[in-house]
Structure formats: structure tokens, C-alpha cells
Chain A
């Protein structure tokens, strides 16, 4: 029995696809067990063909599991009710090109049952929150990839779901757009949302995720908190001002006298994406600061 707070519970999930008429099957997911607690940002990692997207599709009721039990907030994923509290941003999203961004978000809001007096306020709120107020009345067909991702996030959030599933949210997006997406994910976490995210950009996953699972050929290889998995608990790094060679040797001797060793002396490096973001001007979006707090239970509290 899953814990009451589990946003996602996957038990013994196996998914086979028939690949030939003779009945030869491809096992996309193999006896997968996962549990994502409410409020976590959870990263699902793996190479292409590892079963990430298949797992997400089963979670969203788009595919039926061959074997296993998948639940969203305790509700079997095959039921329509399970999707009431889920927002989904597909990989490389494609939306109705002839609608404006506002019309698109409004359409999905109404599909999700948002209506009446809160509809307009909610649509305006999420559009501002993802930073698209200035382009909301442009046709989606004229949007860049980064803008498509952000309008996709807006449609995923418009009904104020508790679980947000992001499938490769930064695929094909430039570093500025990727960084903005990561900031949005952090803000979602601050609001108490549960976020399931798949990405090939492991540095970004590391920055935003509480826990990660690594899949390979449909099997779960590693699962745990980011700190547990990548932290080196038996080592420490001290960042100091540049030392002359003599001082380094003295430090080595001082440490040796106390039973420790100086394993490496190297110059710290900034990450290339951090350098890029510090040098490239980020788009200014006047008017987005109007993102107000609506009447929903979990408010969207700020612009990115």
C-alpha cells in the first residue's frame, strides 16, 4: 500500500510493445518500482530508449501497462480522475498554430473545467507567470521554441494541478530559455507542487531535483536523492585564495602530521552555462511583473 502522500506510485510496471506481426515484443519498461512523494522535484534520467517517455505516457493514461500498478495520488492512472490533478508538458510541444497564446491557454483551461469568473484571471495569471504577457495575443505559429515551451508550461499549470510532468522541457531551447525553465521549476517547488521531469541536460537536473532515478533499457539502475548519489561524503573541498607552491607544500605537511592527505590542488572553474548566462543579455519582458496572486489554492506568486 502506498503512503497517503505519494504523488506517484509505480509498482512492478512492465510495458511490452509488439514489434512484429509474429508477436515479437520489445520490453520498454521492465519491473519498475518508483514512488514520488508530494512536493518533490523528481528527475527521471536515462538514455534514449530507456523507457522514460513510456513511463510518463502510462502515468498519464495514454498507454496501458502490460503488468503493474501505476497510481497518481492514489488513483489508478488509467482512470480519467487521475488526470484531474496533473499538468503535462510534452517533449517538443506542438500546439494549434492558428490560436493565439491566450486562446490556447483558455482552451485548455476550459477543457480542465476552469470556467466562470476565474477563467480570465487564471489565464492571464499563468501567461504572466511564464513571461508571455507581451506575446499572448500573437499566434502560436509565430512562437520560438522557448516560447512554445513556456506557453506549454502555462497550459499545464492553468488548472492549478498538484503534479506537473515535464518531458524534456529544455530540449532544443537555448541556455537562457533553459535557465528560465529551471527557475520556473524551482518556483513550482516553492509552491509545494510535485514535479516529475525528464531531461538529457544532467547539470540542470542536478540543480533542480530533490531525487533522481536513472533508467536503462527499461530497468531502474539507480534511485536516490541527488546529494546521496553525487556527493562525496568522505571528501571535502576548501576554496582559498591562490597559494604559492611553498605554502601548498607546508599545508600538505600540516595535513600529513594530522593523518590527512591533500589529494588535489586545482583551480576552481565556473560552469560554462553560468558564464554564458552572465554574458548574454536576458530578454526583458515588461508587464510580466503584473502576475498577481489569484484565487486558487496554490498561488503563482511571482514572475520568472
Chain B
């Protein structure tokens, strides 16, 4: 019997994403972590004396990105796992997946919803950090005009680029947590495993560095394979030179963005494949 097929629909995907976003921003966790991050960024000016020798403006930028990375990672892992398992445990997934809806639409809808939530978090945190930097730089320019004869030294556009790359990194992390959730039975397992993978992804450059030094060809291949299996999150940290008059190389930023998007596509695809076989 021939029947009209149900095509993949970006409209349905958008509906799932929108609903996921709505559910996330109504959760206390999101608001709590957002307030903490904003509070920490805002308090950076009170810790200026503890700048460990770096310039004051760089310290504010580092402090802001530190808050972004720390709370953003926690928010990404917890929110992704929570929003996925709330659908399973509350059985709203039953009603939803009993509709003419592809599981790929469900998974990518969840991804986009969480990605949008993290986007709001990043935008608010970075926006506040930029405002603080602008304000403090203005004060310093007034106090010591000779140090700023060439104008402002902070490359604000580059800070935005770094912020966007951090958002993309959180996107990769979201895809990883969705992949874990797609086969995991509990929220707790997903969150704990997600944090383990986060640490591995931040430290995997060590494995990448090590494979060239391993004599055994098999072991070298294993180490190399592992280094490709886990994305290298250190690549997304391009903020080191900002605040000292340096900037971000556009070509490097584009390569890192492509790297992140490629991992999102591959890991997201694996999550869809795994979730297609999951019995609800």
C-alpha cells in the first residue's frame, strides 16, 4: 500500500525547540546559575587587587570568561539532561512520539532548545562583561590618558567572537550530553558521565600531544583515535591575548567554528541513531 510520506519538518523541529526553551527558562536552575554568573562577572571589579600581575582589564576579561565557562558548562550538562529526562520520566515523550514526528526532529529540537537557552546565558554574561570592561576602560582612560594614546586597547569585537566560540563549545557539549542521554536510563548517570566527558575534552590535548611520543604503533594509534573521539575544548579558548592589546585571528576562529560544527553534526547524528533504537 502506498502512502504519503511524512517529510522531515523544520517547523516541527522549531516547535520542539521552542517548547524546550520555554521549559528551560521556567526552571529555577537556569535562573539560579544565570544570577550566579552575572553576580560573579559583576563582582570582578571588586577583585581587581587580586589580578596576579596581569593587567586589570585582562583580569576582568579572564574573570568573566571563567564565570562563563564554569557556570555555562554546569548549565549545559544539567539543563540538557534535565530537559531530556523530564520528557521520558513524565511520559510527555509518549504523547509526542506517538504523533507523526521523526525522532531526529525530537533530538535536534531538544538540541536547538538547549542551545538557545545557553545562547541567552552567554549573551547576558558576555554583555555584562563587555559593559564592565567598557566602563572600567573609560575610567582608566580618564585617569591615565597617556596609556591610551591610540584609543581603547580592548578588542570588543574579538571578545564577542570568543564568546560565540564558547557558545559553540557548549553546543558540542550539549550534543555529547544528548548522545549519553539517548541510551542512558537515568538523569544522574547522564549528568555524571557528562561531567567526566567535559573533563576529558578539556584535557584531551595531552593525549593529542602524547601520541607522537609513543613508540608502540598500536598504542599510538589508540591514543590518536581517542584524541579524535573526544573534541578538544582547549581549541575554543582564544581569549588569552585579549586585554593585552592582542586580538583573535579570524582564520583561526573560523577553523575552530568549523571544528565545533563538525563535532555537533557527527555527535548529534550518533544521538539520533541511538535514540531511534530506544524503546520508550
Contact = CB atoms under 8 A, between A and B. Distances in A.
Interface string B70-83: 00000000000000
Interface stretch (A110-118, A168-176, A178-186): A110-118
Given A62-B280, A107-B19, A80 B101 contact: yes
Contacts of A63: 279-280
Q: 6 shortest A-B CB distances, which residue pairs?
A: A74-B1, A88-B98, A60-B98, A62-B280, A80-B6, A94-B90
A254 interface: no
Interface in A70-91: 74-75, 80-81, 83-84, 86, 88, 90
Contacts of B95: 88, 90, 93, 95, 108, 152, 155
B200 interface: no
A98 interface: yes
A152 B26 CA distance: 23
B100 interface: yes
Given A93-B91, A98-B23, A111-B101, A75 B279 contact: no
B279 A64 contact: yes
Contacts of A92: 91
Contacts of B5: 80-81
A17 B90 CA distance: 22
B150 interface: no
A148 to B, nearest CB: 12
A62 B97 contact: yes
B100 A80 contact: yes
Contacts of A98: 22-23, 26
Contact of A96 (B9, B12, B19, B97): B19
B28 interface: no
A152 B94 CA distance: 12
Contact of A111 (B90, B96, B280): B96
A61 interface: yes
Interface of B: 1, 3-6, 9, 11-12, 15-16, 19, 22-23, 26, 90-92, 94-102, 277, 279-280
Nearest to B280: A62
A189 interface: no
A152 B277 CA distance: 27
Contacts of A86: 98
Grouping DSSP codes into helix (H, G, I), strand (E, B) and loop, the B interface class, with mixed when no group exceeds half, is: loop
A111 B3 CA distance: 19
B1 A108 contact: no
Contacts of A27: none
B97 A94 contact: no
25 contacts: A60-B98, A61-B97, A61-B98, A62-B94, A63-B279, A64-B277, A75-B3, A80-B6, A80-B101, A81-B5, A81-B6, A83-B98, A84-B4, A88-B94, A88-B95, A88-B98, A94-B91, A95-B95, A98-B26, A107-B19, A108-B95, A111-B16, A111-B96, A113-B9, A165-B98
A62 B92 contact: no
Contacts of A83: 98-101
Contacts of B90: 94
A57 interface: yes
Nearest to A95: B92
Contacts of B9: 113
Most chain B CB within a 10 A radius of its CB, from A64, A80, A110, A115: A80
A110 B15 contact: yes
Contacts of B19: 96, 107
Nearest to B8: A80
B204 to A, nearest CB: 30
Contacts of B6: 80-81, 84
A61 B101 CA distance: 11
Most chain A CB within a 10 A radius of its CB, from B23, B90, B92, B100: B100
Contacts of A75: 1, 3
A84 B9 CA distance: 14
Contact of A81 (B16, B96, B100, B280): B100
B102 to A, nearest CB: 6
B100 A113 contact: yes
A81 B5 CA distance: 6
A90 B94 contact: yes
Given A108-B99, A111-B12, A111-B15, A81 B4 contact: yes
Contacts of A113: 9, 100
B182 to A, nearest CB: 15
A64 B19 CA distance: 27
Contacts of A93: 91, 95
Nearest to A57: B280
B112 to A, nearest CB: 15
